[in-house]
Structure 1
Amino acid sequence: MNAADDKTIVREYFNSTGFDRWKRIYGDGEVNKVQLDIRTGHQQTVDTVIDWLKADNNLSKLSICDAGCGVGSLSIPLAVDGAKVYASDISEKMVEEAKQRALQTLGNAENPTFAVQDLESLSGSYHTVICLDVLIHYPQQKADEMISHLCSLAQSRIILSFAPKTCALTILKKIGSFFPGPSKTTRAYLHRQADVVKILESNGFSIQRQSMTKTRFYFSRILEATRN
Structure 2
Amino acid sequence: MTRASYVRRTSEIEHYFDRTALAAWKRLTGDQPVSGIRATVRQGREAMRQTLAGWLPRDLTGWRILDAGCGSGVLSLELMARGADVVGIDLSAQMVSFARQRAAELQTQRSVPTAGRVDFRSGDMLDPRLGRFDAVVAMDVLIHYAPEDARSVLEQFAERTRRGLLFTLAPSSHLLRAMLMIGKVFPRSDRAPAIYPTDPEQLAGQLVAQQHMSGWRVGRSQRISVGFYTSQAVEVVRS
TM bucket by the smaller chain? 0.7 to 0.9
RMSD of aligned Cα (Å): 2.3
Counterpart residue type for residue 17 of structure 1? T
Moved over 3 A (4+): 1-4, 107-110, 166-169, 171-176
What is the distance in 2 between the residues matched to 1:140 and 1:211?
18
Please say if residues 80 and 106 of structure 1, whose CA atoms lie closer than 8 Å, have aligned partners that are also in contact: no
1:133 equivalent to 2:168? Answer: no
1:9 equivalent to 2:12? Answer: yes
> Any idea what SS the aligned residue of 1:186 has?
coil
**CA positional deviation for 1:207:** 1.5
Farther-moved stretch of structure 1 (40-49 vs 113-122): 113-122
**CA positional deviation for 1:131:** 0.7
Q: How does 1:16-55 map to 2 (within 5 A)?
A: 16-53=19-56
**CA positional deviation for 1:33:** 0.9
Please say if residues 61 and 82 of structure 2, whose CA atoms lie closer than 8 Å, have aligned partners that are also in contact: yes
What is the distance in 1 between the residues matched to 2:71 and 2:146?
20
Pick closer, same or farther for the CA change 1:17–1:128 going to 2, 3 Å: same
Identity rate of aligned residues, in percent? 27
Please say if residues 163 and 190 of structure 1, whose CA atoms lie closer than 8 Å, have aligned partners that are also in contact: yes
Q: Which runs of 5+ in 2 are unaligned?
A: 184-188
What is the distance in 1 between the residues matched to 2:180 and 2:227?
13
1:210 equivalent to 2:221? Answer: yes
Counterpart residue type for residue 52 of structure 2? V
Q: How does 1:77-92 map to 2 (within 5 A)?
A: 77-92=78-93
Counterpart residue type for residue 67 of structure 1? A
What is the distance in 2 between the residues matched to 1:170 and 1:83?
38
**CA positional deviation for 1:102:** 1.0
Pick closer, same or farther for the CA change 1:121–1:173 going to 2, 3 Å: same
Q: Deviations over 1:60-84 (max 9, x none)?
A: 2321111110110210111112211
What is the distance in 2 between the residues matched to 1:138 and 1:105?
33
TM-score by length of 1: 0.87
What is the distance in 1 between the residues matched to 2:233 and 2:156?
18
Q: Which runs of 5+ in 1 are unaligned?
A: 177-181
Partner of 1:198: 206
Pick closer, same or farther for the CA change 1:197–1:26 going to 2, 3 Å: farther
Counterpart residue type for residue 113 of structure 1? D
Pick closer, same or farther for the CA change 1:200–1:73 going to 2, 3 Å: farther
Counterpart residue type for residue 225 of structure 1? V
Q: Deviations over 1:6-53 (max 9, x none)?
A: 221101111112211111111110223111111111111001112222
What is the distance in 2 between the residues matched to 1:153 and 1:215?
33
Pick closer, same or farther for the CA change 1:70–1:139 going to 2, 3 Å: same
Partner of 2:186: none
Partner of 1:179: none
> Any idea what SS the aligned residue of 1:97 has?
helix
Farther-moved stretch of structure 1 (88-97 vs 143-152): 143-152
**CA positional deviation for 1:183:** 4.2
Counterpart residue type for residue 216 of structure 1? G
Q: Deviations over 1:140-167 (max 9, x none)?
A: 2321221111111210111011111234
What is the distance in 2 between the residues matched to 1:16 and 1:57?
37
Partner of 1:188: 195
Counterpart residue type for residue 58 of structure 1? D
Larger Rg: 2
Partner of 1:121: 127
